[in-house]
Amino acid sequence: MEQFGRINLSEEQLEALQTPCYVVNQDRLEENLNILGRVQNESGAKVLLAFKGFAMWSTASLVNKYLSGVSASSVNEALLGNEYYEGELHVYAPAYHLSDLVQHVKVANHIVFNTPSQWVKHRDFMAKYPDVKCGLRINPEQTESDVPLYDPSAPFSRLGTTIKNFKANIKDFDGISGLHFHNLCEMNVDALERTLAKVEEHFAFFFDKLSWINFGGGHHITRPDYDVERLIQIIKDFKAKYQLQVYLEPGEAIGLNTGVLVSQVMDVFENEMQLAILDTSVTCHMPDVLEMPYRPFILNAAEANMKPYTYRLGGPSCLAGDVLGDYSFDQPLKEGDFIVLGDMAHYTMVKTTTFNGINLPGIYLYSEKDDRVKLVKHFGYEDYKSRLS
């Protein structure tokens, strides 16, 4: 199944894993990168890896083969990009301390400011670093996401500058060489078309003062039904019309359908229905399930009551809501059974926590070509301890 990244582990391979753990299919990852590389090569855009969606730096050498660089949203992400990745390094954050910028200018090629006031505050400092290109994030005011948590164009959004505020502060934009917008979440190309139309309607009058524009992320480019040809044409048309360098920074599209989270059943019992405790925590290891929310795919499972045996699956933390959901199975669950959750490489891995002192999941790489599983890292007490003092 596509959402499992073609990771088909044998019973022997499963038994060798220390659960919970992420297993990432490096061949599937390279397929995604190849698609993004094609978009880059045929459209003339530059594609960046967004760390907020996928930051598995042990795969940096693979990313470097295909993409033009990375985008960071913090000093730590920028330092990671500088240490392991090649090409350009772009930075954006809703606000910066001066101490942040002191670090960023040492490694970044582009720094994007969220508001005119942030730009004015730091403009004199940035003037000392003429090799760093400065940009401003804009708000297209075009809602595309059905989930308010992921809608940068929602009313009262703190992300980006509206056209009203842009025009009110336009006298202050000397030194700004690019614009950045990020408006999408798991979207096909039609959402970009609508958003780009609004960007042109509001901001095209300023394009002749720029040299680049960043279309942000949320483009589900590596999803099977994504219209890659249309994306390439849109970028080519835009570049021909405005002579601007275009950037894309998908995070999810890089890790989409490349990895799984493997867990084991720790206990099975009854409280008005059958309950199963897993060794993976929803709140610690896949918080988007609670935040977005969404329902993960589970290998060989179905919706509740569709198969003979239904269980409510929960995690080992003390949070009452540490619940994955109700799933049904062909056979009764028992202690030691493996539960494999699909499409867990992007956004999930970067959001893990050690709440309750629960260990972070280990990380493995899987090679489909030679059917080999390689341990990348296990986490333990020192990782928990180092988060606090």
Helices (H), strands (E): how many in the chain?
Answer: 13, 17
pLDDT given for residue 146 in this prediction: 82
What backbone phi and psi angles, to 5 degrees, belong to 200?
-65, -45
Q: Could you give all domains of the chain from N- to C-terminal order, each with its CATH number?
A: 2-24+258-385 (2.40.37.10), 44-255 (3.20.20.10)
pLDDT given for residue 2 in this prediction: 64
In terms of pTM, does the model score above 0.85?
yes
Nearest alpha carbon to residue 345 among 301, 285, 303: 285
pLDDT given for residue 379 in this prediction: 97
Residue 223: helix, strand or coil by DSSP? Answer: coil
Report the alpha-carbon distance of residue 379 to residue 20 in Å, rounded.
11
pLDDT given for residue 94 in this prediction: 98
pLDDT given for residue 7 in this prediction: 82
Amino acid (1-letter code) at residue 172 = D
Report the alpha-carbon distance of residue 89 to residue 70 in Å, rounded.
5
Neighbours of 314 (CB within 10 A): 20
Report the sign of the C-alpha dihedral through residues 43, 48, 53, 58, in that order. Answer: positive
In sequence order, what are the residues at sequence separation of 6 or more whose Cβ sits closer than 8 angstroms to the Cβ of residue 336?
Answer: 264, 265
Question: In 3-state terms, the chain is what percent helix, strand and coil (to 5)?
Answer: 35, 25, 40
Amino acid (1-letter code) at residue 308 = P
Are 280 and 315 spatial neighbours (Cβ–Cβ below 8 Å)?
A: yes
Per-residue pLDDT of the chain (389 residues; tens, 9 = 90+): 566 767 888 899 999 999 999 999 999 999 999 999 999 999 999 999 999 999 999 999 999 999 999 999 999 999 999 999 999 999 999 999 999 999 999 999 999 999 999 999 999 999 999 999 999 999 999 999 888 888 999 999 999 999 999 999 999 999 999 999 999 988 999 999 999 999 999 999 999 999 999 999 999 999 999 999 999 999 999 999 999 999 999 989 999 999 999 999 999 999 999 999 999 999 999 999 998 888 999 999 999 999 999 999 999 999 999 999 999 999 999 999 999 999 999 999 999 999 999 999 999 999 988 899 999 999 999 999 999 99
Report the alpha-carbon distance of residue 168 to residue 181 in Å, rounded.
19
Altogether, the residues listed in the chain come to a count of 389
User: In three state form, how does the secondary structure of 11-39 look?
Assistant: HHHHHHCCCCEEEEEHHHHHHHHHHHHHH
